[in-house]
Amino acid sequence: EADIYQTPRYLVIGTGKKITLECSQTMGHDKMYWYQQDPGMELHLIHYSYGVNSTEKGDLSSESTVSRIRTEHFPLTLESARPSHTSQYLCASSPTGTTREKTQYFGPGTRLLVL
Amino acid sequence: KQEVTQIPAALSVPEGENLVLNCSFTDSAIYNLQWFRQDPGKGLTSLLLIQSSQREQTSGRLNASLDKSSGRSTLYIAASQPGDSATYLCAVYGNKLVFGAGTILRVKS
């Protein structure tokens, strides 16, 4: 079982609030990812990191930002939440080495509802 | 741009049936294809990973095949059980992981 954690699991918040979704992994993986998933839809990559102080935007445009100060921690921040940000956010990590041969390990997700 | 399609979108079968889930992708330049399981309130769990050079992978009652040239993969589940009820996601890795929308499977007891 993968050791990757996300908090909070569920969050209901008002428009305009700043929120941070936490993601931590204890496997020492260098690579970490954030995906956004709407109900019944595909996962879309919004941010990824290949190591400390490395962050990149994914395919889906997102108003969120991320940071990678420690290997095990990859938080995602929304400065001003809007109803359009309502979604499920999934964090994942993968081991060092060629991604061709290795899977990604996923956290349980955070379900965000912005009122 | 890689696109991944999964058919059917939803499937309901009685317990004990063998079933097949389908996945197709538009760009055959992939390194691997993976099948994941997603349970409500939980994250994704990797079921099978097939390298581009492989034709199939098996794990227990699950067998996944890959035909890279035609851009297709199937996930075969033998002797289905109620505990198999979940959403099954197919994902292909080229320079990033691209997911399909999934097949929602319900196995009735």
Tell me: the pLDDT tens digits for B33-77? Answer: 999 999 987 789 999 999 999 999 999 999 999 999 999 999 999
d(CA A77, CA A68): 12
Work out the average pLDDT over B93-101.
Answer: 89
Helices and strands per DSSP (H, E), number in chain A: 0, 11
Share of chain B above pLDDT 90, in %: 89
pLDDT for res B67: 96
Please name every residue paired with B35 in a beta bridge, in sequence order, or none if there are none.
Answer: B48, B90
Q: With a cut of 70, which residues of chain A have pLDDT below it?
A: 1-2, 98-101
**Which residue among A48, A101, A106 places its CB closest to the CB of B43?**
A106
pLDDT for res A1: 54
* Pairing, β A10-13 against β A110-114: parallel
Count of A-B CB contacts under 8 Å:
55
Cβ distance A100 to B31 less than 8 Å, yes or no, reads yes
pLDDT for res B55: 95
- Whether residue B44 lies within 8 A of chain A, CB to CB, comes out as yes
Determine the Cα angle at A92 with ends B61 and A75, to 5°.
160
Share of chain B above pLDDT 70, in %: 100
What's the token pair of residue B50? Answer: 């097939």
Which of the listed ranges A31-40, B10-19, B87-96 does the model predict with the highest average pLDDT? Answer: B10-19
3-state SS of B3-29 is CEEEECCEEEEECCCCEEEEEEECCCC
pLDDT for res A99: 57
